[in-house]
Structure 1
Amino acid sequence: MPNQRIFRILLAIACFVFAGVKGWQIIQGEYEWMDIFFLIAFLGFGIMYVVLLNKNKPQQ
C-alpha cells in the first residue's frame, strides 16, 4: 500500500476521536462496562498506530 503512512495517521486520529467520545460518555455517567472496554481498546489502537508511525518514520 503506497499511502500506508497517511492511512495510519487517519486511523490513529479516528481511534483517538472515538476514545474521546467514549471518555465523554463515561464522564457524563451514561456508560456500561462495554464503553470502558471500547475506551481502552481505542486508546490501545491509537497508541499502537502512533508507535508504528514513529518506528517507520522515513529517514531525512
Structure 2
Amino acid sequence: MQNRRPYRIIMTIICFVFAALNAYKIVQGNYSSLDVFLLVVFLAFGTIYLFILLRKKNDA
C-alpha cells in the first residue's frame, strides 16, 4: 500500500487554513450561511484527517 502520509498532512493543513479563512470572514461580520457551512465542513474534514494521521502514527 502506498504511503499517503504526506498527502494527509497537506490536506489537514489546507482544511484548517480554509476553516480559519471562513472563521475570519464570520468574525468580521460579512458572511453568508454558505460561509458557516464551509467552516463546519472544513473543520470536520481537517479533524478527520488529523485523527487518521495520529491513529496511523500510533499503529506503526
TM-score norm. by structure 2 comes to: 0.91
Runs of 4+ in 1 over 2 A off after TM superposition: none
2:47 maps to 47
CA distance in 2, matches of 1:36, 1:14: 17
- Which residues of structure 1 form unaligned runs of 5+? none
Which amino acid counterpart does residue 53 of structure 2 have in structure 1? L
CA distance in 1, matches of 2:3, 2:29: 39
1:33 maps to 33
Which amino acid counterpart does residue 13 of structure 2 have in structure 1? I
Question: 1:11-30 maps to which residues of 2 (within 5 A)?
Answer: 11-30=11-30
Higher normalized helix content (fraction of residues) = 2
- Aligned-residue sequence identity (percent) comes to 42
Give the C-alpha shift of residue 55 in structure 1. Answer: 1.1
CA distance in 1, matches of 2:51, 2:3: 17
- What is the number of residues matched between the two proteins? 59
Q: CA RMSD in A?
A: 1.3
Which amino acid counterpart does residue 32 of structure 1 have in structure 2? S
TM-score norm. by structure 1 comes to: 0.91
